[in-house]
Amino acid sequence: MRIKVAELKEFCLDILTETGMPEDEAKILTETLLEADQRGVKSHGVMSLKRYVNLMQTGVMPKKLDYKVEVDNPVIAVWDGNRCCGQVLGHTAMKAAIEKAKTYGIGFVGVKNSNHFGAGAYYAQLAEKEGMIGISASTGDPTMAPWGGAEKMIGNNPLAISVPTKNVPPITLDMAQSVVAFGKIANMKRQGCKEVPAGWALDAEGMPTTDIEKVYSVMPLGGYKGFGLSLMVDVISGLLIGGGTGVRANPDQMGPAHTFIAIDTKAFGDTEQFLNRVDARVAEFKSCKKSANSTGIFMPGEIEEKCYAESQEAADIIPEIVDDLNALAEEMGRKVRLHEV
């Protein structure tokens, strides 16, 4: 269902400010949600609005940003996020990392005791837009079992890296360490799907399943390699700064922990030469002989950039999500509604 972006923005801002979130913070959260949908990342778009409203209404997530700085030196900072909105914390933390990088070449801000921060690409791209390499990562509540296990013990711990370019779209990798995001399976279930593709999920006994009703955990990307990558994110984003990992990253406990890194390319020499080298490398890949069934050779984030460019006026939203959001507005006594274009 196509919904006007302006209408989506008005709707989200109305609901969030009515919930008690300050307007400037509501604008950040709204921007992250809309950008996810515009980029085609439906699992982190406006479908999450009701979740965040519920977290604020139940007191799990404070309505206003209030964090404590525990460590702060020229390059590194560690914040206690006080369970505040993950998107607002993430935006603020990456901006702080960028400022450190402008002076010292690199900035690292770790945030613990946070909340779900949505699509990691948003934060990495904040640095990329400043001509820097941006990196964001996060722990999460358990959705995967350790390789060879049956119990959910680790999140799919997303990692995003965004690299500036000169004449081609920025290179933006945004990936969870699982074959598929749990949110995608949740969307499929809402749409009435009975099965998931083979290789996506495990049942409660740790055995592969395609029955959507039996899905207990998602498969790590590349088998043991995906588990290993997720463990490393646990270490860097969680254990290093005392943040939540595994069940401790659940919303009712410590919540997730995040890492935000900005790397100023100027610190490594001539930025223009770097950008030219990146463009040239992309051109090499684009010139590769295509496989017989190829639809094209795409760089990380290229398809999302195209989707975003085509969604400036309206975005595709799952009809069931639109119904849920309109029901939420009615429950809250708000007049805003979403309508199909």
What is this structure's pTM?
Answer: 0.94
Residue 28 sits in the same domain as residue 124: no
Structural domain count, the chain: 3
Q: Are residues 280 and 254 in the same domain?
A: yes
Question: What is the pLDDT confidence band of residue 206, given thresholds at 50, 70 and 90?
Answer: very high
Residues 245 and 272 placed together within one structural domain of the fold: yes
Can you give the CATH number for the domain in which 7 is found? 1.10.1530.10
Residues 288 and 164 in one domain: yes
Model pLDDT for residues 246-284, shown as the tens digit of each residue: 999 998 899 999 999 999 999 999 999 999 999 999 999
Instruction: Write down the pLDDT at residue 182.
Output: 83
Q: Are residues 132 and 227 in the same domain?
A: yes
Tell me, what's the pLDDT at 29? 98
Structure tokens that stand for 185 in this block: 């399976």
Domain span at residue 192 reads 187-216
- Both 196 and 267 in one domain: the answer is no
Which of helix, strand or coil describes residue 45?
Answer: coil
Domain shared by 232 and 277, yes or no: yes
Please check whether residues 246 and 116 belong to one and the same domain.
yes
Clarify whether residues 93 and 228 are in a common domain: yes
Give the CATH number for residue 250: 3.30.1370.60
Q: Are residues 120 and 226 in the same domain?
A: yes
**Residues 69, 42 share a domain:** no
> Is residue 247 located within the same domain as residue 265?
yes
The confidence score (pLDDT) of residue 191 equals: 86
> How many CA atoms are closer than 13 Å to the CA of 176, on its beta-carbon side?
26
pLDDT of 183 over the 80 cut:
no
Which pLDDT score, from 0 to 100, does residue 69 have?
A: 98
Q: What is the pLDDT of residues 29-71, one digit of tens each?
A: 999 999 999 999 988 999 999 999 999 999 999 999 999 999 9
Alpha-carbon gap, residue 250 to 244, rounded angstroms: 8
Confidence of residue 184 (pLDDT cuts 50, 70, 90): confident
What single string gives the DSSP state of each residue in 152-219?
--B----EEEEE--SSS--EEEEE-SBSS-HHHHHHHHHTT--B--TTSEE-TTS-EE-BGGG--EEP
